[in-house]
Amino acid sequence: MLELVGEPLTIDPRAQGVSVARRYVREQLEHCDATHVEASAELGVSELATNAVLHGRTPFTVSVLRTADGVRIEVSDGSPLPPQVRRLSTFASTGRGLRLVASVSSSWGVVPVPPDGRAGKTVWFEPVEEPDDSGFAPELLLDLDAHAW
């Protein structure tokens, strides 16, 4: 069961869009009495919105949905390129976004937009109350190669 909380918000691909996405998610979590996952939700949506700005380079849409067990945050953009979990050196300053999303989620995934002439994808996650602070939760990393792009 997925039930949309409020109206989705479409944001231009600019740096300030990341803070707009965080504010929107905070407001929607208040509406559905899910503020207990606010820290994880804000971190996760910050990472996905940043990826949409840097890599998607199209307007992106943020949605909050109620699930049977909590909430799901979705970020959709118009880029057909799948997100990539990168293997980085300890000193790399970028490329950790999806690992951070995994560490603040009970589950997450990527859904390509159906082939109806539009391009794009939706990246979603279900934030947890207590983020995994033991690392980047490698067992939660999704095999993105399994999706047909």
CA distance 77 to 11: 10
- Residue 115 CB partners (closer than 8 Å, separation 6+): none
Asked if the model's pLDDT at residue 24 lies above 90, the reply is yes
Residue 84's pLDDT is: 72
- For residue 74, CA distances in Å to 6, 85, 87, 91 come to 13, 18, 24, 29
What are 72-84's pLDDT values in tens digits? 999 999 998 888 7
| pTM (two decimals) | 0.81
Please give the residue range of the domain that contains residue 89. Answer: 3-146
What CATH number does residue 134 fall under?
3.30.565.10
- Give φ, ψ of 129 to 5 degrees: -70, -45
Residue 76's pLDDT is: 95
- Residue 41 CB partners (closer than 8 Å, separation 6+): 25, 26, 29, 34, 71, 73, 104, 127
User: Tokens 């057909």 appear where?
Assistant: 80
Which pair of structure tokens corresponds to residue 90? 């300890």
Q: How many domains does the chain have?
A: 1
Residue 88's pLDDT is: 55
CB 141 within 8 A of CB 83: no
CA distance 101 to 124: 9
Region 5-32 average pLDDT: 96
